[in-house]
Structure 1
Amino acid sequence: MTEQSLLATLSGVRLHIFHPDSQSVRAFCASLTQLGCHAQHSWPPAASLSTDTQLLLVAIDMHQQPLLTPLFISARERDIPIIALADSHNARLFPLLLQLQPNAIAARELNPFALIVQMIGTLKTVRHQQRLRAVQQARQARNERLAQAKSVLMQTFGLDESGAYRLMRREAMNTRSSMEFTAERVITTLQK
């Protein structure tokens, strides 16, 4: 992959950075804007997020734990990836990080290049996982419809499961249609 195609991953991404205000955070937000991101910055963390947020970068601070937990729960419920920005020298943060379960962890001191690489990797990984879940859900729905069609055939014609499957397969082959289409026809025609 080229540098441009990797950076294109960030184009149009709406992200929120929860980090104490500093010159480096403001400069990082400006850099992200130049890359085509829509970056928003605030501190302290808030449980409510903009409805179009696609990525969170959150500074992990032990004093903000009561605010961090609901933020992370809310983001997980909405399938928003989170990169925790943590001080790697503070071992007291490890139990909190384990509890919060971010998608990735980066250094709290903002290193723009390293953080951009982490953001690209996290977004690509999360998007890939979302596509896999969608494929698995479609496969599960397909299997449920096939099982329902077999059940209808078994009840209607007194067939066993393998006989119902063979009947559907034969019908699909004879009509040059998919098993899914045949299953839908069985369900809509015979289940009344």
Structure 2
Amino acid sequence: MTEQSLLATLSGVRLHIFHPDSQSVRAFCVSLTQLGCHAQHSWPPAASLSTDTQLLLVAIDMHQQPLLTSLFISARERDIPIIALADSYNARLFPLLLQLQPNAIAARELNPFALIVQMIGTLKTVRHQQRLRAVQQARQARSERLAQAKSVLMQTFGLDESGAYRLMRSEAMNTRSSMEYTAERVITTLQK
């Protein structure tokens, strides 16, 4: 992959950085804006997020534990990836990080290059996981509809499961349609 295609991953991304204010955070937000991101910055962490937030970068501070917990729960419910920014020399943060379960962890001292690489990797991983979940859900729904159609055929015509499946497969082949389409036709036609 080229540098441009990797950076394109960040184009248009709406992110929120919860980090104590500093010149380096402000400069990083400007850099992100130049890359095409829509970056917001605030401190302390807030439990409520903008409805269009797509990525969070959150400084981990033991004094903010209740707010962090609420923020992470809210983000997880909305499937927003989180990169925790933590002081790697502070071993007391490890139990909190394990509890919060961020998608990734980076150094709290902002290294723009390393953090941009982490953001790209996290977004690509999370998007891939979301696509896999969508495929699994579609397969599950397909399987459930086929099972429902077989059940309708079994009840209507007194067939066993393999007979119902063979009947649907034969009908799908004869009409040159998919099993999913055939299952839907069976369900809508015979189930009343």
User: TM-score, with normalisation over the residues of structure 1?
Assistant: 1.00
Cα offset for 1:56? 0.1
Distance 2:65 2:148 in 1: 48
Cα offset for 1:94? 0.1
Does the residue aligned with 1:79 lie in a helix, a strand or coil?
coil
Question: Does residue 103 of structure 2 align to residue 103 of structure 1?
Answer: yes
Does the residue aligned with 2:39 lie in a helix, a strand or coil?
strand
Deviations 1:73-103 (A, max 9, x none): 0000000000000000000000000000000
Question: Does residue 164 of structure 2 align to residue 168 of structure 1?
Answer: no
Which residue pairs with 1:79 in the alignment? 79
Distance 1:70 1:158 in 2: 54
Distance 2:45 2:144 in 1: 42
Deviations 1:45-71 (A, max 9, x none): 000000000000000000000100000
Distance 2:56 2:146 in 1: 40
Cα offset for 1:144? 0.3
**CA RMSD, 1 decimal:** 0.3
Runs of 4+ in structure 1 displaced over 4 angstroms? none
Instruction: Give aligned pairs, total.
Output: 192
Cα offset for 1:189? 0.5
Distance 2:62 2:178 in 1: 56
Distance 2:187 2:50 in 1: 42
Distance 2:7 2:97 in 1: 28
Percent identity reads: 97
User: TM-score, with normalisation over the residues of structure 2?
Assistant: 1.00
Cα offset for 1:110? 0.1
Distance 1:34 1:127 in 2: 23
Unmatched 5+ stretches in structure 2: none
Distance 1:157 1:185 in 2: 16
Which residue pairs with 2:147 in the alignment? 147
Cα offset for 1:146? 0.2
Deviations 1:17-36 (A, max 9, x none): 00000000000000000000
Distance 1:186 1:78 in 2: 36
Deviations 1:156-184 (A, max 9, x none): 00000000000000000011100000000
Question: Does residue 49 of structure 2 align to residue 63 of structure 1?
Answer: no
Distance 1:17 1:102 in 2: 14
Deviations 1:126-149 (A, max 9, x none): 000000000000000000000000
Does the residue aligned with 1:105 lie in a helix, a strand or coil?
strand
Unmatched 5+ stretches in structure 1: none
